[in-house]
Amino acid sequence: MQRLRYGVVFLLCIQASGLVAQDRTISRDSSPRQNPAFAKGMAYQISGRHADAILEFQDALHADSSALVLSAISRSYLQLGKLDHALQYAEQAIRNDATSKESWEILAETFIAKGLYEKGVQAYEQILSLHPTERQLFTFGRLLEPTNAKRASEIYELLVRSSPNADIYLRLSKLYKRQGLTQRRISVLEKANQLDRGNPGIISDLIQAYMQAGRFEEAMALAQDGGTTLQEYDGYDRWMCLLRTIYDDSDIVQQMQSELPAVLDKTIALRPNSYNCLLTAGTIALRSNNAQQAEVLLQMAARQSSPYNRFDVILHIGDLCLRMQQPMLASQFLRSNLNETSNPRADMLLGDIRFALHDTVGAITHYTNAVTSNPSLVDAWIQLGILHDLHGDDAQSDAAYRNALALNPRQPVAANNYAFSLVNRGRGLDTAEHLSWTALQAQPGNAAFLDTYAWVMYKSGKMEKAYQYIMLAIQRDGTAMHYEHLGHILNALGNPVGAVEAWETALQMEPQRLYLRRLIDTYR
């Protein structure tokens, strides 16, 4: 990789040798006077003996009060952390010679050390009219990068105009990206790639920029450059970079709908043995609702796993399909690849899949198998509590929630759900209140938990408290159930008009709550 000749310069850490015009400039300052005290002071400064350096420079001032000597004193005071003294000598140096780049530079560094960022920037701006060195331009650009991308870009543009450099082009590309200047970003990345071919960082950024600009053919060509039969090029998989760019940007997935099938087929042709490429391509296919290509790619990815991690890979891919809203594909994939079905992890995933497919009986079977193999699976007990409740099996549901809470007494979902189940049956209101409050303490902003606690308060006859918490739930979410509960609470508080309005809102949100029509007609 091409490197900056002037190296990486950090503010406040420039050595005293920086006072001598060592790096290439458009014009050089005049040489310092040959003063033994000054020379000795410079030697001390370079070796880090700044207190001794100051004494020698002070002696040199008797014969030479030039800006160079004053700046040298200022720099040593800066290194010693005596910022007021450093500022005093830097300002005196500039009064003596306003054309001294070094004096303006030390003034800028001192301002920045004092936390006066804007004054530091203003001092660096003065250097621009004095034929700055490459180092000074680079340092100024670095100073501006965090807060002023536009001005930092302008400074780096000046720098590469006289000295093209891949590292600076990379910095420019990141600044242009922040400003949304995609075409400029592409231009500097192309120049960087010419100067430093094979640099993974440049290639990755350029592929990404091409993709974001909709220049898909150029991105694919660059991703294939270096040979179509090699899985890696210079230790870096360009094709994987292309896939990751697509994967990370949902807008690109939408823009590439017509090109995606070809990209996915090309992945099979170019990277048939790369688990990462095949898995990423399969995920892209899932995201674009291309189940057919997704299945092919994911099956190929599974075949790349070793016998030692095959089970984990299969579960990972099955879970991926489920998370990408493809439960049927997840089921088919596991059925064709999973030999070990008695594993509790497998049963948990299979239970989740059956639940997503609305097969509650199958889900109960798998979750039951999971807790039979491993009774400490809290999540499985919670799911069993939910499912048995849906089936109206209160005894089984209660037992499942109690098992979950025995393992983790403060598990918020188990506590909330069990409380809601109890209060709806009019049983154990004190227990329900304790459980609901436990859940709410764990997640105070959870709208469902706020609603449960409000409903417990309503059933317990504590209407003011019920109203307080149902309004908190509505402020955070406002579901049809929340408005239904609000109606009951308002009616109990003697506000039937408000109750009817709340029930009408709930009915508008979920028209299937037909039973609310009777309440509305009764209390209107």
Q: Is the pLDDT of residue 3 over 50?
A: no
Q: Is the pLDDT of residue 360 over 80?
A: yes
Determine the pLDDT at residue 6: 38
Nearest 5°: CA angle at 212, between 209 and 215? 80
The structure tokens listed for 45 are 């400064």
Q: Is the pLDDT of residue 178 over 50?
A: yes
Report residue 225's pLDDT band, with 50, 70 and 90 as the boundaries: confident
Q: What is the mean pLDDT of the chain?
A: 89
Determine the pLDDT at residue 7: 36
Q: Is the pLDDT of residue 441 over 60?
A: yes
Per the model's pLDDT, the better-predicted residue between 251 and 227 turns out to be 251
Handedness of CA 297, 299, 304, 308 (dihedral sign): positive
Task: Note the pLDDT tens digit of each residue in 456-506.
Answer: 999 999 999 999 999 999 999 999 999 999 999 999 999 999 999 999 999
CA 222/CA 189 separation, integer angstroms: 12
Q: Is the pLDDT of residue 15 over 50?
A: no
Q: Is the pLDDT of residue 296 over 70?
A: yes
Confidence (pTM): 0.70
Determine the pLDDT at residue 251: 86
φ, ψ (nearest 5 deg) of residue 201: -65, -40
* 40 three-state secondary structure: helix
DSSP per-residue string spanning 334-368: HHHH----S-HHHHHHHHHHHHHTT-HHHHHHHHH
Could you tell me if 100 and 67 are in contact, meaning their C-beta atoms sit under 8 angstroms apart?
Answer: yes
User: What's the average model confidence in pLDDT over 381-387?
Assistant: 98
Other Cβ atoms closer than 10 A to 11 = 14
Q: Among 10-14, 346-350, 355-359, where is mean pLDDT lowest?
A: 10-14
Q: Is CATH 3.20.20.70 the classification given to domain 1-143?
A: no
Nearest 5°: CA angle at 390, between 385 and 392? 95
Cα–Cα distances in Å, from 18 out to 133, 335, 520? 11, 69, 83
Tally of CA atoms within 13 A in the half-sphere of 426 that contains its CB: 1
Task: Note the pLDDT tens digit of each residue in 398-430.
Answer: 999 999 999 999 999 999 999 999 999 988 899
Q: Among 16-25, 101-110, 239-248, where is mean pLDDT lowest?
A: 16-25
Report residue 229's pLDDT band, with 50, 70 and 90 as the boundaries: very low
Closest CA relative to residue 488, chosen from 445, 454, 514:
454
Q: Is the pLDDT of residue 37 over 50?
A: yes
Report residue 198's pLDDT band, with 50, 70 and 90 as the boundaries: confident
CA 434/CA 331 separation, integer angstroms: 39
Looking at the chain, the whole-number percentage of residues with pLDDT higher than 90 is 81
CA 410/CA 463 separation, integer angstroms: 26
- Give the E-state strand segments of 82-219 in sequence order: none
Per the model's pLDDT, the better-predicted residue between 456 and 25 turns out to be 456
Q: Is the pLDDT of residue 156 over 70?
A: yes
Task: Note the pLDDT tens digit of each residue in 91-109.
Answer: 999 999 999 999 999 999 9
User: What's the average model confidence in pLDDT over 247-259?
Assistant: 87
Task: Note the pLDDT tens digit of each residue in 300-347.
Answer: 999 998 888 999 999 999 999 999 999 999 999 999 998 766 799 999
Determine the pLDDT at residue 340: 66
Task: Note the pLDDT tens digit of each residue in 210-223.
Answer: 998 999 999 999 99
Determine the pLDDT at residue 90: 94
Q: Is the pLDDT of residue 47 over 90?
A: yes
Q: Is the pLDDT of residue 237 over 90?
A: no
Q: Is the pLDDT of residue 12 over 80?
A: no
Determine the pLDDT at residue 226: 53
